[in-house]
Structure 1
Amino acid sequence: MPRWPKPAEGSWTQHYPELGTAPMSYDDSISPEFFELERDAIFKRAWLNVGRIEQLPRTGSYFTREIHAAHSSIILVRDRDGSVNAFHNICRHRGNKLVWNEFPREETAGTCRQFTCKYHGWRYGLDGSLSFVQQESEFFDLDKDNLGLARVHCEVWSGFIFVNLAAEPRQTLREFLGPMVTGLEGYPFDQLTERYTYRAEVGANWKLYLDAFQEFYHAPILHGKQTPDNFSVAAQQAGFEAPHYQLDGPHRLVSTSGVVTWELDAAMRKPMEDITRSGLFGPWDVPDLGPMPAGLNPAGCEPWGLDSFQLWPNFTILIWSGGWYLTYQYWPTSHNTHIFEGNLYFTPARTPRDRVAHEMAAVTFKEYGLQDSSTLEATQLMLESRAVTTFQLNDQEILLRHLHKVAADWVGDYRRERAEAQR
């Protein structure tokens, strides 16, 4: 069962003795051998979020997703019955990538009635069935019924599309998500459909960027220049600790209080925030989204700021009290590189002022995101020097310990299973 102690009961870490308090090694973030094990142990076994249902608005809508860590490319498509299908993006004839445009390594999206291979013209329906073979009579004992696209396990939860690349997933998606995450059910994700997206290649291990968003210890220092000097100095002297951390299976949550931006002293606000009525915490004009699910604001903060739900292995849903939300995805491409994607979701703008407020929030997020990522390559470089091999973590960095322990546990389980299979 999940445990969420109150701070008055003691430190966070002492309630999770399995995580320990010793200095932590970051070998899992600099080892090519460990990353190769993560491919099979994690990314070919876990449920992975690949997008949202709004990306497939009508019959025949599709998009592709490159999952480098699993050496996979998949197609997501809405079938004629409204269901979402997922297939490996490979033609059953000679193995050509089926869906791509000018550059086969790039993702693409669109709408179609069927998929046609660019190489020899084999065609597949939206349900993956093989419907046409060029010069079919020249083949030997061809059974089209058994040559449909290779299906990928796919489930949808609260509008989020997940896939599992295992031959047989160990858990259903709902079982995998567990009670902490499914406690978000009822949040009106389907009402927030105006999306802004950022994507960047980062020269650091995927877990290091996750670490950057799992604690607020860095905020007064790294983001200090985003506020007036007097406020920044005071924040650095006071420090910051979120009031609530929570673990549930492989997933993590940090919840924190907030500020009402427009109630701050004008000297603490930027002129553009006053002009656009927006900023880091989102638009000042908060939409009425109705009652919120019980899973939000578990510490009962007043005022509440945000909840960051970190879904194993590489997906974050960050819900702001101001009526909007963010998602982060971290897609490994090697042991020391990954692709970061950030998406911001708002209720559709009804006026130019709404649109400007949304764009201000998106631009501000980008600035903070760049600050968060700016330290990562420096961290990666020095970890790889191995000049120091263990590192001190404080009490509020509990989610970092948990992330790296879960990665080690999944890799350890995979190693044991492989060793047993070879006996």
Structure 2
Amino acid sequence: KRDIEMVDVSIIVVRGDDGRLRAFHNICTHRGNRVVHDESGTCNGFQCDFHGWVFDNQGALSFVTDEQRFHGLDKSGLGLPEVHLDTWEGFIFINLEETPGESLEASMADFNQDLKPFPFDGMVLAGRYRYDIKANWKTTMNAFQESYHAAFVHKRSVRQCLVDETDPYLACQRIKLQPNGNQTVSVHLHPHELTPTEAIAFGMGATFTQGKDGNLNNFPGTAQDKIENWALDLNILFPFSRINTGAGWYYVDSFWPVAHDRTVYELAFYFPMPTTAAAMISQEYSKIVLRDLSREDLSTNEVTHNALRSGAIKSIQLSDQEIAVRHQYEKVTELCG
């Protein structure tokens, strides 16, 4: 099971005894208490810790404490409120609308052709990180959607592979925008003199800072052959999730809006199952690099959010380096006004 918290809702995702995945609102149908307080785990059902009502792992109300004192209670209509759930290439998606306006396949749009061929099967979780940020989700997410900041935010970590004299600001070489808000930003990295740690990691397997040179196999579903020195694609699933693909690995991150001034950022990194100690070392290097880069990307979020709350500026200025940010804001404005 998995508990997911967003603005005003908490969602349980669980695989029932029948093998089917389902999603439910995390709320007891007695008096509204949450029934799940753990982030994840395994269970046969859910018991409310307020009055002991029990729901099975298919959402049905299976036990009511002191049931005889309720009059006309129909347990069959008091299961956990179900939420629409569907899957795409092994990824789980939920839709909070009572009647979804479109199917998951329709919402994936061009990703059904552009991203679907990527070999997601066979890759396993190598690391997961979670950050609780005191900032709006758009402020948080947009710090990750352009490379204009690379020379400054990442100057103490991997600057050597992000910028050089001919490309001092890691200019975006390729971006594909979709009408529904989805988009793909292709990122390149520069050949560079390896640090001692990089040299060890590079010799043992594909790594995050190595780009496509780390794995010369063909990876369909990427821009591997579309830009020079390609490293990864940021595949942005509107409104607040991404499936980012590289040469033999991928990572998924989500910017969960918990409140107008709070975002939970989750990052999960996937690699092929390591079969040697060398591969484990290489993957650990990439995991730690990505962890540190994400911390750097998050470093300006809270102070930016607080500064914007002052109302001192009425607009923000966006260059062609920030097309992804602009596309995101345009779609949010279109839907929300």
User: Could you state the TM-score of these two structures normalised by the residue count of structure 2?
Assistant: 0.89
**Partner Cα distance (1:411, 1:340) in 2:** 22
Coordinate RMSD, CA, aligned: 2.6
1:110 aligns with 2:41: yes
CA contact (8 A) 2:212 2:229 kept: no
Bigger relative contact order (CA 8 A; separation at least 6)? 1
Identity of aligned residues (%): 34
> Unpaired runs of 5+ in structure 2?
none
Q: 1:394 to 1:181 in 2, by over 3 A?
A: farther
Who is 2:77 aligned against?
146
Give deviations 1:179-218, integer Å, cap 9, x for gaps. Answer: 2355322322231113311111223221122222221122
**Partner Cα distance (1:227, 1:179) in 2:** 32
Amino acid at match of 1:63: R
Residues 236-315 of structure 1: matches in 2 within 5 Å?
238-248=168-178, 249-259=180-190, 264=191, 268-277=193-202, 280-281=208-209, 292-293=219-220, 295-297=221-223, 300-315=226-241
1:219 aligns with 2:150: yes
1:373 aligns with 2:298: yes
Give deviations 1:218-244, integer Å, cap 9, x for gaps. Answer: 212322333588x88844864321221
Give deviations 1:120-168, integer Å, cap 9, x for gaps. Answer: 2222222211222222222111112111111111111111111111111
Residues 75-86 of structure 1: matches in 2 within 5 Å?
75-86=12-23
Per residue, is there more strand in 1 or in 2?
2
Amino acid at match of 1:99: V
Deviation at 1:99, TM superposition (A): 1.8
Who is 2:278 aligned against?
353
Per residue, is there more helix in 1 or in 2?
1
CA contact (8 A) 1:217 1:239 kept: yes
Q: 1:172 to 1:316 in 2, by over 3 A?
A: same
Who is 2:95 aligned against?
164
Who is 2:24 aligned against?
87
CA contact (8 A) 2:150 2:162 kept: no
- 194, 197, 201: which is aligned to 2:128? 197
CA contact (8 A) 1:282 1:324 kept: no
> Unpaired runs of 5+ in structure 1?
1-61, 101-106, 413-423
**Partner Cα distance (1:343, 1:117) in 2:** 30
Q: 1:299 to 1:398 in 2, by over 3 A?
A: farther
Who is 1:333 aligned against?
258
Who is 1:39 aligned against?
none
